A = this chain, B = another copy of it.
Amino acid sequence: MTTEQDVRDVARHAKDAAADLAPLPRATKDAALHAMADALVAQTAAILTANARDLANGRDAGLSDAMLDRLALDDGRVAAMAQGLRDVASLPDPVGEVVRGYTLPNGLDVRQVRVPLGVVAIVYEARPNVTVDAAGLCLKSGNVALLRGSASAYESNTALVGVLAEAAEKAGLPAGSVQLVPGTDRESVTHLMRARGLVDVIIPRGGAGLINHVVENSIVPVIETGVGNCHVYVDADADLEMAERIALNAKTHRPSVCNAAESLLVHRAVADEFVPKVVHALRAAGVTVHGDETVLALAGGNAMDGPPVLPATDEDWAAEYLSLDIAVAVVDSLDDAAKHIRRWGTGHTEAIVSNSQPAIRRFISRLDSAAIMVNASTRFTDGGEFGFGAEIGISTQKLHARGPMGLPELTSTTYLVTGSGHIR
């Protein structure tokens, strides 16, 4: 069992490293990222050997093929991780950016400057590429990366962090800049969540269970990420062909991710025309529709081939399916759509399809989500799509960062105030 001392020793080492890492210039950090990328490629064989042990353990433990595929590394995937580090190296360094700066009437110069957060802990599931991505983003933004992957990827993560840490230190970063949290048991995360003062922030990346566990129990500040019950609302004034295209794309382009649509709301004024069409198109694309009574009545029964149309329950309105399922409701008004979203949504991304500017403005003003798409698919809420170059996750909380988080979201600020003997 992992003891509190085990975790605190590592966190203390991380905290000390953070003090030395924070002031390093961009050139040093970028050189380290390139060295880490080179080392990953050079040591691919050892990484794949460790990964094979995880895969063997996973097969013994009865992991699904999908899980095993996520876990599996090969030459191409290691090369892609290395390329990811080089891409992060090419991004601007957020540290040192002057966010605000002005001179006060008394002559004091005030500058608000970006600084690293310090020690950033990432708790994540399954895929070993998160280990490399997270390490790269943390180091680029001057933060120590404290990584806690899942037990199923332990051998892979240990190998990866070993390679990264050695290369980073050789390239001039402080020892301890990239570390694994010891242990794969529940206690390992529990102690991490208690290490306030040593760990500056915990970012959980994974399913709702993991995220809620961390949010409920951590006394270290948390950035909540990525549970998405995203809605597409088709307004009375919608271009219905556009609406069908967006609904289909939002649902089917990549159903397993948090910015996929899980619910479709249709204004009653266009329901007669739109619902039969969109249900048909969804079913033709392999989607199971969970509809309210009006939708069931308009859907035309289950005569056609394809997945069934089922009656929706409250669980459907709340569901983040992450699969080829969608909940569909007819609403009496835009305000009812907003009410539905406020009640059942997770505050991730909602889309409106409408040509009415007043309707769009009202939709925006009635909602409280990280992102709102106007005549565009929910799938665009993404750091890469937004042009951030990289993403540590998508925040669904309101404090600190909301929506896709890039490098600036991994920083805090300090006020630097310069005078010439100023007193009050």
Residues of A in contact with B (beta carbons under 8 Å apart): 18-19, 22-23, 102, 104, 108, 110, 112, 115, 117-118, 196, 200-201, 215-216, 219, 221-223, 239, 242, 245-246, 248-250, 253, 342, 364-366, 368-377, 379-381, 385-387, 397-400, 402-404, 412-424
With the chains together, A387 CA to B112 CA distance in Å? 13
> Would you call A414 and B379 a contact (CB within 8 A)?
no
- Starting from the known contacts A22-B365, A117-B399, A375-B420, 14 additional A-B residue pairs (CB-CB under 8 Å) come to A18-B368, A221-B222, A239-B421, A369-B414, A372-B414, A372-B417, A374-B416, A374-B419, A376-B422, A376-B423, A379-B424, A380-B419, A399-B399, A402-B413
Provide the residues of chain B in CB contact with A248, threshold 8 Å: 423
Across the interface, name the chain B residue whose C-beta is closest to A421.
B242
Known contacts A379-B423, A423-B249; decide if A221 and B417 are in contact (CB<8 Å).
no
How far does the alpha carbon of A365 sit from the alpha carbon of B118 in the complex, in Å?
13
Residues of B within 8 A of A399 (CB): 117, 200-201, 221, 223, 399-400, 412
CA distance A117 to B402 in the complex (A): 11
Q: Known contacts being A118-B368, A400-B399, A400-B400, is A421 close to B245, with CB within 8 Å? A: yes
**Docked CA distance A244–B170 (Å):** 45
Distance of A215 Cα from B23 Cα, bound (Å): 29
Which of chain B's residues have a CB closer than 8 A to the CB of A402? 412-415
Contacts of A249 in B (CB 8 A): 423-424
Q: Is the pair A371, B414 in contact by a Cβ cutoff of 8 Å? A: yes
On whether A417 and B368 interact (CB within 8 A), knowing A104-B385, A398-B201, A399-B400, the answer reads: no
**CB of A335, distance to nearest CB on chain B (Å):** 10
Contact B423 A245 (CB under 8 A): yes
| Residues of chain B within 8 A of A222, CB atoms compared | 221
B215 near A415: Cβ-Cβ < 8 Å:
no
Contact B415 A102 (CB under 8 A): no
| Residues of chain B lying within 8 A (CB to CB) of residue A22 | 365, 368
- How far is A201 from B399 in the complex, measured between Cα atoms in Å? 8
Distance A199 CA – B377 CA, assembled complex (angstroms): 30
Find out whether the CB atom of A375 lies under 8 angstroms from the CB atom of B418.
yes
A-B CB proximity, top 9 nearest: A376-B419, A23-B365, A249-B423, A398-B412, A376-B422, A400-B400, A242-B421, A371-B415, A399-B400
Query: A359 → chain B, closest Cβ, in Å?
Result: 13
| Contact (Cβ within 8 A) B201 A215 | no
Residues A374 and B418 in contact in the complex (CB < 8 Å), given A22-B365, A412-B398: yes
Asked if residues A377 and B19 are in contact (CB atoms below 8 Å), the reply is: no
Nearest Cβ on chain B to A101's Cβ, whole angstroms: 12
Instruction: Give the distance to chain B from A310, nearest Cβ to Cβ, in Å.
Output: 26
Question: With A23-B366, A118-B368 known to touch, is A423 a contact of B374 (CB < 8 Å)?
Answer: no
- Smallest beta-carbon distance A16→chain B, Å: 9
